Amino acid sequence: MKQRLEQLLESGRQAILLTQSDAALQEVRVQLLGRKGELTALMKGMGALSADERPVIGALVNTVKDSLDDLITERSAVLREEEIARKIEGERIDVTLPGRRVSLGSRHPITQVTQDVSAIFASLGFGIEEGPEIEKDFYNFEALNMPKDHPARDMQDTFYISEDVVLRTHTSPVQIRTMLKHQPPVRVIAPGTVYRRDSDITHSPMFHQIEGFLVDRNVTFGDLKGVLSAFVTRYFGDEIGIRFRPSFFPFTEPSAEVDMQCVICGGKGCRVCKDSGWLEILGSGMIDPEVFKSVGYDSAIYSGFAFGMGVERIAMLKYGVSDLRLFFGNDVRFLQQFV
C-alpha cells in the first residue's frame, strides 16, 4: 500500500506539471483526488490492513493528498501568470503606429441656413420667437383669417390630430401668439418645423420655415420691400436682382411673391427657372386688418407686414441642390460638402 501511494504521488506530480491549461489541470485533479479518483480507490483497500498498519497508511494518505493539493494550487498559479503574460503580449500597443484621426461633425445645411438667415434678420432688429408644433386650429387658421369654410385651408394639406388640433402647417401661429402677448411695436421672426401632406423632389411632409412680421405705426409696403431686399442681397449677393410679384395670402392684403434672379443661369433662362430667369423665394404682404382684429390690435392706428420662406428652398438655391430629399437622406457624402 505504501509503495502504491508513493507511486501515485510521483505519477500525479508528473501529470500536474505537464498540464498547459486550467481545464486540463482540473481534469487531473478529478482523476487523482475525485470521488472516483485513484486516491479514493486506494483508500478502499485500507480495510484489509492490520490495526497497526492503518494509522501509518492513513497518515501517508493524508500526506499524499495534501502534497497533490499543494502541487495543483502551485501549478494553477503558474498557469494564471502565463495566461496574463500572453494577454499582455497580445494586447501590447505599438506606439509607433499613427493615431486614428478624430472625425469632426458639422452643422446640417438646414441648420446652417436657419442660423444664417436668423442672424441677418437679427441684425435688422428682429427678435426670435418659437411656438408649439402641435397647434390649435384657432392659431393655425382662424386667427389668420381662414375660418372653417375658407378655401385657403385646402392649400395647406393639413395633418389633423383632432377636429381642432393640427400639426402646424406654417410658423404663422407664432405671430398670433406673439401679438396676443405683446403690444406694438413688435418685430419678430419665427423659425421652426412645419408639416403638410406633400412629398416629391421639391416638397416634403416635414420641412422648415422662417416667417416674420413687423407691426408699428405708419408701416408701409415700402418698408416691407426695403427689409426683404436687404435680406436677399445680404444673403445671396449684391449682384442678384429681385422683384415683387402680386399674389394672394388670406392673412395679408396686398400680398406679393418675391422672386430673385436664377442662381443657375444668372437670369438668362434655364430648365430650373423654366426659362423665366426668375425663382420664387418667399411670400409676403401687408397684414390683413382681420388678423389685427383677432389679436386686439387697432388697425386704424397700427399697420404691419409679414413674410415667410421655406428654409429648404433657400438652401437649394444657396447651394444649387436639385432634390429636396437629399437634405433628409443622411448620406454622409452629401453632408460632407457643407463642412
Query: Which residue, among 168, 160, 175, has the nearest Cα to 134 in the 3D structure?
Result: 168
Tell me, yes or no, whether 158 lies in a domain: yes
Helix (H, G, I), strand (E, B) or coil at 300: coil
Tell me, yes or no, whether 96 lies in a domain: no
Last residue of a domain, one of 90, 118, 142: 90
CA 252 to chain centre: 37
Q: What is the average pLDDT value for the chain, to the nearest integer?
A: 86
Model pLDDT, residue 156: 64
Task: Assess whether 138 and 283 both reside in one domain.
Answer: yes
Model pLDDT, residue 195: 92
Task: Assess whether 310 and 235 both reside in one domain.
Answer: yes
Task: Assess whether 122 and 242 both reside in one domain.
Answer: yes
Tell me, yes or no, whether 103 lies in a domain: no
Tell me, yes or no, whether 98 lies in a domain: no
CA 188 to chain centre: 28
Model pLDDT, residue 222: 95
Tell me, yes or no, whether 100 lies in a domain: no
Tell me, yes or no, whether 316 lies in a domain: yes
Task: Assess whether 246 and 318 both reside in one domain.
Answer: yes
Contact status, residue 188 vs residue 175, Cβ threshold 8 Å? yes
Instruction: Name the residue with higher pLDDT: 337 or 289.
Output: 289
d(CA 324, CA 259): 19
Cis before 254 (ω within 30): yes
For residue 176, the domain's CATH number is 3.30.930.10
Query: Which residue, among 206, 140, 200, has the nearest Cα to 170 in the 3D structure?
Result: 140
Tell me, yes or no, whether 104 lies in a domain: no
For 89, how many CA atoms within 13 A lie in the half-sphere containing its CB? 6
Task: Assess whether 141 and 243 both reside in one domain.
Answer: yes
Q: Which residues of 63-79 are buried (b: 16+ CB within 10 A; e: fewer)?
A: ebbeebeebbeebbeeb
Q: pLDDT class for 201, splitting at 50, 70, 90?
A: low
d(CA 51, CA 37): 25
Query: Which residue, among 307, 258, 308, has the nearest Cα to 278 in the 3D structure?
Result: 258
Model pLDDT, residue 75: 86
Q: Which of 109-113, 213-217, 221-225, 319-323 has the lowest mean pLDDT?
A: 319-323
d(CA 334, CA 327): 8
pLDDT at 9 over 90: no
pLDDT at 225 over 80: yes
Tell me, yes or no, whether 183 lies in a domain: yes
Task: Assess whether 78 and 160 both reside in one domain.
Answer: no
Task: Assess whether 166 and 307 both reside in one domain.
Answer: yes
pLDDT at 122 over 90: yes
Q: pLDDT class for 47, splitting at 50, 70, 90?
A: low
Contact status, residue 305 vs residue 175, Cβ threshold 8 Å? no
Q: What CA–CA distances, in Å, run from 118 to 90, 233, 245, 299, 329?
A: 55, 15, 24, 28, 25
Task: Assess whether 74 and 137 both reside in one domain.
Answer: no
DSSP string, 200-241: BTTB-SEEEEEEEEEEEET--HHHHHHHHHHHHHHHH-TT--
Per the document, the length of the chain is 339
Q: Which residue intervals of 44-158 are DSSP H helices?
A: 53-90, 109-123, 137-140
Count of domains forming the chain:
2
- The residues, ordered by sequence, that sit 6+ positions from 238 with a Cβ below 8 Å of its Cβ are none
Q: Which range marks the domain in which residue 76 is found?
A: 2-90
pLDDT at 41 over 80: no
DSSP string, 119-146: HHHHHTT-EE----SEEEHHHHTGGGT-
- The residues, ordered by sequence, that sit 6+ positions from 248 with a Cβ below 8 Å of its Cβ are 255
DSSP state of 278: E
Last residue of a domain, one of 56, 90, 124: 90
Last residue of a domain, one of 90, 118, 152: 90
Task: Assess whether 147 and 83 both reside in one domain.
Answer: no
Instruction: Please state the pTM of the whole predicted model.
Output: 0.66
Task: Assess whether 197 and 72 both reside in one domain.
Answer: no
Task: Assess whether 11 and 142 both reside in one domain.
Answer: no
Contact status, residue 279 vs residue 273, Cβ threshold 8 Å? yes
Which helix (H) or strand (E) element contains residue 316? helix 311-319
Task: Assess whether 197 and 333 both reside in one domain.
Answer: yes
